[in-house]
Copies of this chain bind each other. A is one copy, B any other.
Amino acid sequence: MKVPEAAISRLITYLRILEELEAQGVHRTSSEQLGELAQVTAFQVRKDLSYFGSYGTRGVGYTVPVLKRELRHILGLNRKWGLCIVGMGRLGSALADYPGFGESFELRGFFDVDPEKVGRPVRGGVIEHVDLLPQRVPGRIEIALLTVPREAAQKAADLLVAAGIKGILNFAPVVLEVPKEVAVENVDFLAGLTRLSFAILNPKWREEMMG
């Protein structure tokens, strides 16, 4: 089973669509409908799901709440992940206030190096010094949202790795070096802008990509 990374991203899209369908009171769907809403082919939907098992019934399609539950299970959203934010500048503070983390992700720590920020209350806690990471992370925090300035990102990542973090959501525009046991995802809007630049200049490429 060699699941492409892009398939995981599409599963997340299918899950969003299923949640929307459920909110609209729709009980059954099909690979055709999911594909149309996700802007991929029905074949792609079936292929992406086939990596993980056999879902749906030929000619009948999928039951929305069942497929939704299966996707949540595949993606690990049926459990609760402990999060922390490292870097309580503007972006970190906005994330601390963000109401949409959902039931699978829980903010459990807020860290900075700035003595003026340490001790300040935020929604859900108090900002602590990054020196406390080794005491706060183990057994409690699996994923860090890294929102420090670019220059500070690698050093902060090193501290998180030493503290036993399992995954880092990196908002800084740098390629972090971490041991291979630690997962990294980059949230990188400049890369997104650059992909748009390429896509706008290469409309034929985009058509091919979209099947």
Contacts and interface: CB of A to CB of B under 8 A. Distances in A.
Contacts of A12: 191, 194-195
B76 A197 contact: yes
A167 B3 CA distance: 29
A198 interface: yes
A39 interface: yes
Contacts of A101: 190, 193
A5 B207 CA distance: 12
Contacts of A13: 175
Contact of A208 (B2, B193, B200): B2
B100 A90 contact: no
A174 interface: yes
A142 interface: yes
B195 A9 contact: yes
A122 interface: no
Interface in A102-122: 102, 104-105
Protomer copies: 2
A193 B169 contact: yes
B173 A196 contact: no
A97 to B, nearest CB: 8
Contact of A200 (B95, B104, B105, B142): B142
B181 A203 contact: yes
A183 B169 contact: no
B205 A175 contact: no
A200 B39 CA distance: 28
A38 interface: yes
Interface in A176-199: 177, 180-181, 183, 185-199
Nearest to A90: B94
25 contacts: A2-B208, A13-B175, A16-B175, A74-B198, A75-B194, A76-B194, A76-B200, A76-B201, A90-B94, A91-B94, A94-B94, A100-B190, A101-B190, A102-B190, A104-B197, A142-B200, A169-B189, A171-B189, A180-B206, A180-B207, A185-B192, A185-B193, A186-B192, A187-B187, A187-B189
